[in-house]
Structure 1
Amino acid sequence: MQRSVELSGKSQSTLTNYARCLSRLVLHFQCSPLELDQEQLLDYLHHLKSQYKTPSESFFKHTIYGLRYLYRIYGLPEHRVVLPQIAGSKKLPVILSKQEVRLLIKTPKLLKHRLMIAMLYGCGLRCSELRHIELQDVWLDRMQLHIRQGKGGKDRYVPLCRLLVRGIHKHLVSDKPVKWLFTGKNPSGAPVALSPMGVQWVVKQARQQSGIKKAVTTHILRHTYATHLLEMGLDIMTLKEVLGHVDIRTTLIYLHVAQCAKTAGFSPLEKLYN
């Protein structure tokens, strides 16, 4: 499975999620998933569904996706038939108001932490994309950020504003990073790319200290970026590109959240001779 995931270009997190869920399945039955019959599989999935309520829907989902992937590798299409379909989530994303974003950005004492939050929101970055920004990817003169190998292995460019350019310049002078824009330290003290927990800790601390009551995560800042851009007049196709979405349907969900001014319907004939 590891070889297949890496050859297909899927992310390390995909492999981790599949392996974690399938390992739990192996420990439960003390045998390979390939040896299980349909009744055993359904019993186990029912056990997961009844044991884990709200937060572990992802564990249930990754178990099914992991099994489907495993059966595809071994050429066992008949095993996939019994697996239930995963219904798409109908939840709308939580977003912050403009006032809440301003409050969140100004709360951290360290410039580095303020800049991290500002870039998550101001560029619509995923957590992994922020962590892996290298100095060569920051084009201050062109006011652009090059996102290399984002989700789905896609490259893209996102615009930087003057506030971010000024903040990045100050950060480069004060922290003097060598390879990555934002660095952490390993146990020996050597600089390394920030960990996911490190980025999430910065956002969590800022939320707690700011007094914002909403749950705030790195991805909620990305949702907020997309929604605010729509409300400020950006068209949906350009938004799809800057977010790095493969499917426009993923982007369309923000239309249900954005409070865009609507134009009343009219006949085109009225404008034809105007």
Structure 2
Amino acid sequence: MFTGKYTVEEEQQTINQPKFTLNELSLLALAQAEQKLILKGYSPNTLKCYKSELACFLKYFENLDLKNITKDQIESYIYHLISKYKISESRQNGAINAIKFYYEQILGMPREYYDIQRPKKANQLPNTLSIEEVYKLINAPKNLKHRAILTTIYAAGLRMSELLNLRLKDIRSDEGYIFVKGGKGKKDRHTVLSNNLLKLLRNYYKDYKPSYWLFEGQDGGKYSASSVQSIFRGAQKASGANPWSTPHTLRHSFATHLLENGENLRNIQVLLGHESSKTTEIYTHVIG
């Protein structure tokens, strides 16, 4: 729960906004939202995002009664974020989701009343790398652990959070698969464990001997997302990979390469953990 001062930099990922503190009423509102999010079982990433967005929202309207704020005022606030801080469409949606959660779940306001205008979804295809580009990128790091991290993302088609949550016992070498516990939507699944990846992970284990998490940080806890991002950027620069690529590009490339090699779309959907086949079908447009 929140005590004392809360500054935006504790949670806020967008660095354009200045620091601020919240008054006692806003801190209480934020604490109520955090408690409800935890009780409803929201993921740590969602919890962090909603707390951050609500803090900004509460600061903006801290001198007004939140129950009397209109839909137009909320949309004006979103416009303020867009015009002043040039926030992305993703963050626009994050802010809207957090605000709607507060009004519907904390204040008990009607859902339809806060049907806030959202950015039009761009019809963009996933960015991918060729097999040759992936090979150069994942083999660019000299550090064995770093190579293992990048290779696991690609060879198993993992999301960043799924990689960081892998435990030693999730590598089912006897059965030939990786167990992904609590992926997106808190759904468990199996994904592929190739012989090459298994060999690399065994070499990594011999050198690093992690005790619980497959990839441990210096304190023995989970590896951090920022560290993976740093590893990727270094490999990206060293390999000459396209600058728009991200760790998630490796997951997109995994799916695209499977499809190019004739893998069944339904099987790819299962490996990726997509709830809807329509999400997976977008890769058919990537390969034409």
TM over 0.5: yes
Q: Sort the Cα spacing of 1:88 and 1:124 in 2 relative to 1 into closer, same or farther, 3 A.
A: same
Question: Does residue 66 of the first structure (1) align with residue 111 of the second (2)?
Answer: no
Greater Rg over alpha carbons, structure: 1
Aligned AA (1:109): K
Instruction: Look up the match of 1:216.
Output: 245
Could you tell me how far 1:198 is from its partner in structure 2?
A: 1.0
Aligned AA (2:263): L
Which segment drifts farther, 72-81 or 87-96? 72-81
Match of 1:12 among 44, 50, 58: 44
RMSD, aligned CA: 1.8
Deviations 1:47-94 (A, max 9, x none): 2232344x5222221111112222221321167445114433311111
Are the equivalent residues in 2 in contact too, given 1:9–1:153 (CA < 8 A)?
Answer: no
Question: Does residue 22 of the first structure (1) align with residue 51 of the second (2)?
Answer: no
Gaps of at least 5 residues in structure 2 are 1-32
Match of 1:34 among 53, 67, 76: 67
Are the equivalent residues in 2 in contact too, given 1:182–1:194 (CA < 8 A)?
Answer: yes
Aligned AA (2:231): V
Q: Sort the Cα spacing of 1:242 and 1:33 in 2 relative to 1 into closer, same or farther, 3 A.
A: farther
SS across alignment from 1:174: helix
The whole-number CA distance in structure 2 between the counterparts of 1:104 and 1:82 is 43
Mapping 1:29-178, distance limit 5 Å:
29-31=61-63, 33-53=66-86, 56-73=88-105, 74-77=107-110, 80-178=113-211
**Identical columns (%):** 34
| Count of equivalent residues | 254
Instruction: Look up the match of 1:205.
Output: 234
Instruction: Look up the match of 1:265.
Output: none
The whole-number CA distance in structure 1 between the counterparts of 2:96 and 2:113 is 9
TM-score scaled by structure 1? 0.87
SS across alignment from 2:221: strand
Could you tell me how far 1:34 is from its partner in structure 2?
A: 3.4
Gaps of at least 5 residues in structure 1 are 260-274
TM-score scaled by structure 2? 0.83
SS across alignment from 1:21: helix
The whole-number CA distance in structure 2 between the counterparts of 1:173 and 1:134 is 16
